[in-house]
Amino acid sequence: MRTAPAVAALLLAVAVSGCGMYDAVPQRPSAAGYSPLAAPQVVGGAPAAEPEPLRGPLRRPDVLVIADDELDGKLRRRIGTLPGVRAAEALSVASVPVGDRSVTVAAVDSGGYRRFTASHTATADPVWQVVAAGDAVLSHDIGRDLNRPLGDTVGLRAGAHDIDLRIGAYATTVPRIDVVVNEQRGEQLGMRRHNAIVVALDDARRADASAAIARLLGGRGSVQELSAGPAPPSGTRQAAYLTGSTASASLGSFSYRYFADGTVQPEASWVRANIRTEQMPILGDVTCHRVMLPQLRAALTEIAHSGLSGEIDPADYGGCYVPRFIGYDPSQGLSMHTWGIAVDLNVSGNMRGTVGEIDRRVVRIFKKWGFAWGGDWAWTDPMHFELATIIR
């Protein structure tokens, strides 16, 4: 019988995978539950952009509220004035595809957001200068995990193509946030504006304040504890919302549980509404998101009509809806297979990091029908075809 770890959340801090050392700074005494923090690192030759000044006193980030849709100004103000709430700042948060995984991106007004970050980050103008210039700030952990050095680029998916952002800094910001960009970049990525709030709480009233926020939210998202308190039970509602493709708005959001073996169990209502099994040319029965099935059928039909059926081996099919983390590792982020919008073809001859044996005529047809191909990524995954664009 599988047992669930203590924390079930889409927005996971990624584990350190060890690429170089960083100078640690002392832990803030008041930040219960924090790990020692790494000092910011900023790319050389800072861009000519004026950073947003620090707006208000520094605050500890205690709660991250993530909703299924935009939180209107009235609701945000009500949350900000609840007893026990010391400060609150609106931001936009979404999971954005990078390769075959997702990372948690926050699009922020940096003047307000920076006061919730570690003090050595909050007061480092060069970090916020690169945000103002349109660069990305990565957490130290996600930078190591993606194997991206300072000054390199990270490709965040927007439709069938990536938006390549320069990595301007590594910095500790708010827990569970992997990448920070400015609000203009958030718009480019198709992120829902102001669907999240980071909140600082009065220690003496934090339990009551968290419960009051949850009541105001009314089941339209999640309230995630960041700095203290018990971990949420497995299955606690999380707003698993994917952006970065024209298909995103049709995919829906879901809560999920995850297990020690790295598999994921989305909520049953989302599965019933979205996951379908249909018979396809060449592959036979496949189980995918309903949004993807028409385009998958069209691509496979054209491949068959083009005399290329023999280029896809149905016995070497790796699946579509396979809810899991990348590599079945909870530190690696959700696989796009969790949404049922990707297929792995001819697995044995198209492993990660290779050019792959997949016939490029098959690749061209899949691209024609709105799929991104993993063979185009920096770390190639030539077996992987992922829905990126809705074709009517």
Count CB neighbours of 26 within 10 A.
8
The answer to the question of residue 315 being in a domain is yes
CATH number at residue 193: 2.40.40.20
Q: Are residues 209 and 272 in the same domain?
A: no
Listed residue (13, 2, 1) closest to 259, CA to CA: 2
Domain boundary among the residues 190, 210, 225 is at 225
Q: Which domain holds residue 366?
A: 248-387
The answer to the question of residue 2 being in a domain is no
Output the CA torsion sign for 77, 178, 327, 3: negative
Q: By the 8 A CB rule, do 259 and 2 touch?
A: yes
Q: Residue 108: what residue type? A: V
pLDDT at 47: 64
The answer to the question of residue 297 being in a domain is yes
Q: Are residues 76 and 187 in the same domain?
A: yes
The answer to the question of residue 240 being in a domain is no
Q: Are residues 186 and 261 in the same domain?
A: no
How many domains would you assign to the chain? 2
Q: Are residues 208 and 274 in the same domain?
A: no
pLDDT at 247: 57
Vertex 218, ends 217 and 224: CA angle to 5°? 50
Q: Is 169 helix (H, G, I), strand (E, B) or coil?
A: strand
Domain boundary among the residues 191, 225, 259 is at 225
Query: Residue 302: CA atoms inside 13 Å, Cβ hemisphere, count?
Result: 14
Domain boundary among the residues 175, 210, 225 is at 225
The answer to the question of residue 234 being in a domain is no
pLDDT at 218: 85
Q: Are residues 186 and 44 in the same domain?
A: yes
Task: Provide the residue-wise pLDDT of the chain in tens; the chain has 392 residues.
Answer: 333 332 222 222 222 222 222 222 223 333 333 344 678 888 876 566 889 999 999 999 999 998 878 899 999 999 999 999 999 999 999 888 887 677 889 999 999 999 999 999 999 999 999 999 999 999 988 888 788 889 999 988 776 567 889 999 999 899 889 899 999 999 988 888 999 999 999 999 999 999 999 999 887 777 888 875 444 444 333 445 566 555 566 777 777 777 888 888 888 888 999 999 999 999 999 999 999 999 999 999 999 999 999 999 999 999 999 998 888 876 667 788 999 999 999 999 999 889 999 999 999 999 999 998 999 887 789 999 999 888 87
Query: Residues near 156 by Cβ (< 8 Å), separated by ≥ 6?
Result: 96, 97, 98, 103, 105, 136, 162, 163, 165, 179, 189, 244
Q: Are residues 59 and 166 in the same domain?
A: yes
The answer to the question of residue 105 being in a domain is yes
Q: Are residues 178 and 280 in the same domain?
A: no
Q: By the 8 A CB rule, do 66 and 224 touch?
A: yes
Q: By the 8 A CB rule, do 185 and 135 touch?
A: no
CATH number at residue 340: 3.30.1380
